[in-house]
Amino acid sequence: MRLKTYSMKQKMIIGKKIKNICKVNKVYFLVNDDPLLAKKLDADGCHLGQNDMKIKEARAIIGNKIIGITCHNSIKLAKIAIRSNANYLAFGAFNATKTKKTKYQATTKILNEVNKLTKIPIVAIGGINSKNYKNLLLNKANFLAISSYIWNNKKYKPQQAIEILR
């Protein structure tokens, strides 16, 4: 759940609904940037950007739940996250995206390099769609974070977009 501009009250209301949808569909519910909110919502974990709190601090708040960390396009950041016991490493943006401004461009080379360092799952982020997702999976991304292709697709409704990716 990534709701940057919403009030805490709105995040709680929306978060409870998303948590129920995730439970019904047997998928993890992760909160972006905010371990305290993740704890309040009893989420499965949280995702931390490089400007958010450190994994150790987040772990003190949410315990043994999932914590993922943004590594942009950096082996150095990945090594720090590995040493800090992150549950997954997120890299991107792999492609142009309108979801948010990106400063970093990742390539499939980083996926292959990081896979040599660790067995921790890798998430690919950024501009992923039906035309480019297979290349990321073939280069050993374990998961894909796909937003605009599903939610802002001018051609397909969200469920149709998801079906095309299956």
- In order of 7, 8, 56, 66, the CA distances from 3 in angstroms are 9, 10, 23, 19
- Report whether 140 contacts 160 (CB < 8 A): no
Beta-carbon count within 10 A of 107 CB: 12
Q: What is the pLDDT of residue 97?
A: 76
Q: List pLDDT tens digits, range 71-128.
A: 999 999 999 999 999 999 999 999 887 666 777 889 999 999 999 999 999 999 999 9
79, 161: one domain: yes
72, 144: one domain: yes
80, 162: one domain: yes
Residue 120: CATH number of its domain = 3.20.20.70
- Per-residue DSSP letter, 21: H
